[in-house]
Structure 1
Amino acid sequence: MAALSAVKYDKQLKEYYEKKLAKGKSKLSILNAVKNKLIHRVISVVQRKKKYENSVNFSLFLS
């Protein structure tokens, strides 16, 4: 459900979903990738101990 909401309301993830859909990927496969992206965002925020910033340059820092 989180992936569906993210695709609907998050601009970056919506663009990603539409781009992959246009390339012929299956919807469930794309939603699985979106889930993975959301998990990575959460992990990054927890590791940095900072508030999430929704920007184009939000880089994933996993060390």
Structure 2
Amino acid sequence: MTDPKKLACHAGVVPFIYASGQYRGKAKTSNKANKPLKALLHNGAMSAIQHSQELKAYYMRKTAEGKNEMLVINNVCNKLIHRVYACVQRREKYKDFIPPLLLES
């Protein structure tokens, strides 16, 4: 797969809205996802939330806004997929960037 969005869909971390006619359901992830890959991404996201200041701040901010924890973890999984693809495309190692605002708090 050459596109991170396709991998995210394949891994089941992207929610889809179920709708037909006037009915609009809640956005849910697909149950046809690659479950072993999703489990690995979930574990990686949990570790990233604990060890990366940027992702930890993102997680805390979104949960404080009232977002569901699993939704935020899926978003972190999606961010990890996009970061991996960016590093592979650029052919360079990941550099952890902490914005100046996060250093002050």
Instruction: Tell me how far 1:51 sits from its aligned partner.
Output: 1.1
Q: Which residue of 1 aligns with 2:61?
A: 19
**Runs of 4+ displaced beyond 3 Å:** none
Aligned letter for 2:57? E
Q: Which residue of 2 aligns with 1:36?
A: 78
Unmatched tracts of structure 2, length 5 or more: 1-42, 100-105
- Asked if 1:46 corresponds to 2:88, the answer is yes
Instruction: Tell me how far 1:56 sits from its aligned partner.
Output: 3.7
Structure 1 distance, partners of 2:71, 2:97, is 25
Structure 1 distance, partners of 2:71, 2:92, is 30
Q: How many residues align?
A: 57
State the structure with more CA Rg.
2
Aligned letter for 2:63? L
Q: Percent identity?
A: 44
Q: Which of the two has greater helix per residue? A: 1
TM-score relative to the length of structure 2: 0.52
Structure 2 distance, partners of 1:51, 1:2, is 17
Q: CA RMSD in A?
A: 1.0
Structure 2 distance, partners of 1:52, 1:28, is 25
Unmatched tracts of structure 1, length 5 or more: 58-63
Q: Which of the two has greater strand per residue? A: 2
